[in-house]
Structure 1
Amino acid sequence: MQLHNLKDETQQVSFVEAVKTGLGRNQGVFFPKSLTPIQDIDKLLDLDFVSRSSKILSHLIGDELPADTVAQMVQNAFNFDVKLVEVEKDIYCLELFHGPTLAFKDFGGRFMAECLAQFNQGEKVTILTATSGDTGAAVAHAFYNKPNIDVVILYPKGKISLAQQKLFTTLGNNIHCYAVDGSFDDCQSMVKQAFLDDEVKQKLGLNSANSINISRLVAQVCYYFEAIAQLPKEQRSKAHISVPSGNFGNVCAAMIGAVLGMPVAKLSATTNQNDTVPRFLQNKEWAPNDTLESLSNAMDVSKPNNWPRVQF
């Protein structure tokens, strides 16, 4: 899987390098230069979730990892249910809260942990991540007590729920948590700033488990295929997937799925009052405002990291 830095075309890396590097030069995110559709989608959709996810991820990663290695990583990471529930006629909800921390980010966090365990070969790693609520818990539990890995989590003080906070601040051991007097965007800026300091990066073996990291993003592609697979066959090509969007990683994963050949008629991304992207689409000016608080704190993001990937 060849990826390039969306802010520096000269930096081209493999999947393994991208996972281990996290963020590219000039704070650029990595993304595939091209995506090849998967052949025989109907046959793929007939598989069970773990088998299908293994094939999707092997297809994306390519020959960097043996197929049986990827299959074992997926089996270790995706060991909980994914349910498509009919809310009312022709309206479904994809339940992604059956993982250990009750959030869709369990998929990406756990697959990233499997990747780093496979790639690191005993090197000391520090995972530095910002959270608007659910990433922190998913990453903390995915990497809890993993050898040679420390996790540092920055979260906006007083702006996440107490339940979310307790899910990661009560673990201890290799999980270190810091409340930041500011917004999620402030936390995210601190993470990006740390990655600009080569001395800090080298000394700490710095990596990020935000959706900056490509391993988290590709893992999320898998559950969109599962949603389509659970629909009656005659409905699949008519599906309209609507994704609540804060940092825009989740809808980007759905877009990757569509490019790979997943049958879907329409994708929608919805934001709350932190509307940088809708305003950009209207007037072509990237003008983030101060982050506004809402009841959906995980969506309170005014500078979404994944927008360059969506735009590309």
Structure 2
Amino acid sequence: MIYTDTRDSSVKVDFKTAVLNGMNSKTGGLYIPVEFPRLDESILKSNSEPSFRSVALEMAKPYCKGEIPDDDLDAIIQDAYPFISKLNQIDPITYILELFHGPTCAFKDFGARFMARVMSYFNRENSDNLHILVATSGDTGSAVGSAFHNVPGIDVTILYPEGKISPLQEKQLSTFTGNVRALKVKGTFDDCQKLVKTAFVDEDLRSKFRLSSANSINISRLLPQGFYYMYASLLAKAKSYISNKLEDPAIIVTVPSGNFGNLTSGLIAQKMGAPITGFVAATNSNRTIPDWIATGKYEARPSVETYANAMDVGAPSNYERIAAMYSLEEVRKLFASYWLDNDGIIESIKDCHTKTGYIIDPHGAVAWKAWDDIRSGCLEKLMGGLKGDYTKPGLTANVPDWAKEVVNKNAVGIILETADPAKFGATVKQAIGKDPIIPDRLQKVMQLPDKAIPMENNYETFKQWLMENL
């Protein structure tokens, strides 16, 4: 497979180069495959329930062809996924795709564990360390740290915004030892991400160290997140008639979105044949993408702090990939977009629990509210000509091509639940009046000592630290 660059289509590199470089240091662009091969029809049209690991292997093969033999790739996938995603039906036409059954209780485990093993595979013949720099708004860092912890030949530095993630999330970041360490930056996630991106294009730094990324900047973290979109949509399709009496429903996937890597992974899965009719991009008050869809103008802005902190991103990196894959008009036909403020997040957690008994985290709650509004008449009102105010919480006024499927009651929704609600216990308790159950693996990390290193929001200070410590 050949990979090109979102900022220079003349760039042509192989998978190994794209993975180990993270991004193109010459242009600042992101790597993206030149094609998205469709899976075999025998997989896409099967009426039996799919196997997650088999789906993952078949999806990964074309992107690693000629660089990782199939047997080695299968071993990577088997080792990466001792867990899988779980699809739970919570009402007649709504599924929750639980993505928190990995070691750090967040969807980032799916991408990080595959990426760590691929990087280790490609790095096995090098004598010097590969240095991973990663910015996190909550869950990415812990997933990456866990995936790379004690992996030979790889060194990891995680940057997170001090005081802007949940206490449990911070414990997951600040307690690593050995080849993984965390820097708590006096700033926002966007500040952390800017420090990392600046380091990648710093020729002086790159001349001394081999640097790579583990954010959704890195294509090897983005591609495997597509595995669960393919798996879940095929499973929902196979179960549809028994579960909801619909023979061939339109499948609408609602994605909690911050840096928009997760949604981009869904787009890749759809291009590979996943039976997904459309997407809902659901975010918090950091509404950069909904505003772009509404106005046609992309304007990055400083992030604001919310209860759904993993989505506190004002300058989402994967906008570049979405814009490279689709025109704005194509996006408007494929996506509904939706945003919710903090009051809405609390009400949505409560509403989901009241209506279904399901305890959902703040990110999944934004997706729940988006889907519940869409199927309950909001989209039909837009089709009737009602134009909402995109500066207020709710749906952006575009009408996607799949709107009629929802209005005609021929659609089912898959909501991505991206983290265990226990990671946001205080917010969940505020909404429903009780604490969510804390998994044992999260309880254990709370007992570990903090080792995070304070860092100013200043590139020269950050660079000096890297030069002295890598």
Same fold (TM > 0.5): yes
- CA distance in 2 between partners of 1:21 and 1:257 (Å): 24
Q: Is the 8 A contact 1:3 1:31 kept in 2?
A: yes
Of the three residues 53, 56, 60, the one matched with 2:59 is: 56
- 1:127-181 alpha-carbon deviations (Å, 9 max, x no partner): 0000001001000000001112111000001001111111121121111111111
For 2:319, give the aligned amino acid.
W
Cα deviation, 1:253-306, whole Å, max 9, x if unaligned, reads: 111111111112221111111111111122222212221110000000010001
- Give per-residue Cα distances to partners, 1:51-110, cap 9 Å, x unaligned: 121111003333322111111111111111310001111101000000000000001100
- Where in structure 1 are there 5+ consecutive unaligned residues? none
Partners of 1:35 and 1:50 in 2: CA distance: 19
SS of the equivalent of 1:126 reads strand
Q: Secondary structure at the match of 1:100?
A: coil
What is the match of residue 165 of structure 1?
170
Tell me which amino acid in the other structure corresponds to 1:161.
S
Structure 2 counterparts to residues 1-312 of structure 1, below 5 A: 1-24=1-24, 25-40=26-41, 41-43=44-46, 46-120=49-123, 121-122=125-126, 123-231=128-236, 232-234=239-241, 237-312=249-324
Question: 1:26 deviation in Å?
Answer: 2.1
Native 8 Å contact 1:130 1:184 kept in 2: yes
Helix, strand or coil at the partner of 2:95: strand
Q: Distance in 2 between the 1:77 and 1:152 partners? A: 21
Aligned CA distance change for structure 1 residues 44 and 58 (closer, same or farther; 3 Å): farther
> What letter corresponds to residue 87 of structure 1 in structure 2?
I
Q: Kindly indicate whether the alpha-carbon contact (under 8 Å) linking 2:234 and 2:275 is maintained by their aligned counterparts in 1.
A: no
- What TM-score do the two structures reach when normalised by structure 1? 0.96
User: Which protein has the larger Cα radius of gyration, Structure 1 or Structure 2?
Assistant: 2
Cα separation, 2, equivalents of 1:33 and 1:90: 36
* Most deviating of 119-128 and 89-98: 119-128
Please report how far the alpha carbon of residue 233 of structure 1 lies from its aligned counterpart in structure 2 after TM superposition: 4.9
Counterpart for residue 359 of structure 2: none
Matches of 1:306 and 1:237, distance apart in 2: 29
5+ residue gaps in structure 2?
Answer: 325-470
Contact 1:45 1:226 in 2 (8 A): no
- When structure 1 is superposed on structure 2, of 136-145 and 200-209 the one drifting more is 200-209
TM-score calculated relative to the size of structure 2: 0.64
AA aligned opposite 2:273: G
Quote the offset at 1:204 in angstroms.
Answer: 2.1
- Give 3-state SS (helix, strand or coil) of 2:45's partner: helix
CA contact (8 A) 1:45 1:52 kept: no
Mapped contact 2:23–2:31 kept (Cα < 8 A): yes
**Please, what is the CA RMSD of the aligned residues?**
1.5
Could you list the per-position Cα deviations for residues 211-245 of structure 1 after superposition, in whole angstroms to 9, with x for gaps in the alignment?
00000000000001111232215456521111010
CA distance in 2, matches of 1:193, 1:167: 26
Deviation of 1:9 (Å) = 2.4
Distance 2:73 2:6 in 1: 26
**Aligned positions, number:** 312
Partners of 1:45 and 1:225 within 8 A in 2? no
Q: CA 1:100 to 1:17, structure 2 compared with 1: closer, same or farther past 3 Å?
A: same
SS of the residue corresponding to residue 27 of structure 2 reads helix
Q: 1-side partners of 2:62 and 2:141: how far apart?
A: 29
Contact map agreement 1:141 1:168 (CA 8 A) in 2: no
**Within 2, Cα distance between the matches of 1:215 and 1:241?**
22
Counterpart contact for 2:52–2:84, Cα < 8 Å: no
Contact in 1 for aligned 2:149/2:180 (Cα 8 Å): yes
Moved more, 277-286 or 89-98: 277-286
Task: Check conservation: 1:145, 1:174, Cα contact below 8 A.
Answer: yes
Q: Percent identity?
A: 40
Select between 257-266 and 283-292 the one with higher mean Cα deviation: 283-292
Cα distance in 1, alignment partners of residues 170 and 197 from structure 2: 22
Whether contact under 8 Å (2:50, 2:231) holds in the other structure is: no
